[in-house]
Structure 1
Amino acid sequence: MALAFALGASALAAAPLTPQQEAQVRQIAVNIRCPICTGVPITESTNDISREMLRDVREQVAAGRSARDVYAYFSARYGNFVLLDPPKEGSNLLLWGAPLAALGGGGAVLWLFLRRRQNAAAPAPLTEAAADEPFDPFLAQVRRDLGQSSTDRSNPGRNGGNP
């Protein structure tokens, strides 16, 4: 019985596929990663494991399995790592959504930073006398210093009565 099953499986693997099935095999195999190579689909890898995986894909397509079934088979056997385009469901949503969330968060932080900087750089309202003169930060500092020193001179008790 086991011999008949083995002969039937090898006959199924050796059976030629239709052009439509060959196209389906190529479409499926392009999305399956070689477990040894980094980022290379099994269609482009030349190692023995990739050739065996490609043979498994051919067998499953010949058996009438869908692409989703083939991907589930390889995911169960090798983990989601083997899929070049992992499904966007479950915990994989975190991996797909994290870059978008980081981009949105970075944009919000940048917007708040620029808004705070713009509010801090806004000039104070000008008085009538200052509105006639152009703004000069050095002149404004000198005027503040002179105004402070004139108040110090007018209050002799503050620095011990010495002028």
Structure 2
Amino acid sequence: MKQFLACLFAVTVLLGCPAAYAVQPDEIMADPAKESRARDLSRELRCMVCQNQSIDDSEAPLARDLRLLVRERIAAGDSDAQVIDFLAARYGEFVLLKPRVNQHTLLLWLVPPLVLLGGGFVMWRYSRRRGKSAGDTDDSAVKLTADEKARLERLMAAEPTEKLL
């Protein structure tokens, strides 16, 4: 029990800690509003080395270069959309963690809901077919003869301790 409580405490402490970011102190902008914009943009951009982390979370040198580039563009007066467009033009749509909806990514956006709908349809058809087959077994049950019915009645009425053959 003590081990369980110790593990529970450790998990609670770890989950309660704020996420550690890879942004170095020398990267942080003096203006808090611009730094906030840079952090928000950094969370939307994929690290090209790690590929499953944002550049805000990654410690890869390329991620640091991208964070600095984002901050340079913001300092130059670019809007968030201009920074994203610049990086997407330079590195391709893959740099975006959440790709835009366009003709090249339409399949990427449509496949998950279609698979979900298809799975739901298959489950619905399976449950209907299974329900019908269960109902069919009741209708197609073998009819008992009069002798069999009489024997069944005797068996059901018999005491559990009696031996019937």
Tell me the TM-score normalized by structure 1: 0.62
Cα distance between partner residues in 2 of 1:120 and 1:43:
56
Pick one of 78, 93, 98 that aligns with 2:106. Answer: 93
Provide the identity percentage. Answer: 35
Instruction: Indicate the SS of the match to 2:72.
Output: helix
Cα RMSD for the two superposed structures: 2.4
Does residue 78 in structure 1 map to residue 91 in structure 2?
yes
Matched residue type, 1:22: E
Q: Which structure is larger by alpha-carbon Rg, 1 or 2?
A: 1
Matched residue type, 2:111: A
8 Å CA contact 1:86–1:92 kept in 2: the answer is yes
Instruction: Give the unaligned 5+ runs of structure 1.
Output: 1-13, 126-136, 144-163
- 1:119-161 deviation line (CA, Å, top 9, x unaligned): 2222328xxxxxxxxxxx5xx3886xxxxxxxxxxxxxxxxxx
- Residues 9-158 of structure 1 mapped to structure 2, 5 A cutoff: 17-122=30-135, 123-124=138-139, 140=142
8 Å CA contact 1:25–1:58 kept in 2: the answer is yes
Cα distance between partner residues in 2 of 1:141 and 1:36:
72
Cα distance between partner residues in 2 of 1:114 and 1:37:
43
Name the count of aligned residue pairs: 116
Structure 1 runs (4+) deviating above 4 angstroms are none
Cα distance between partner residues in 2 of 1:30 and 1:120:
53
Cα distance between partner residues in 2 of 1:43 and 1:113:
46
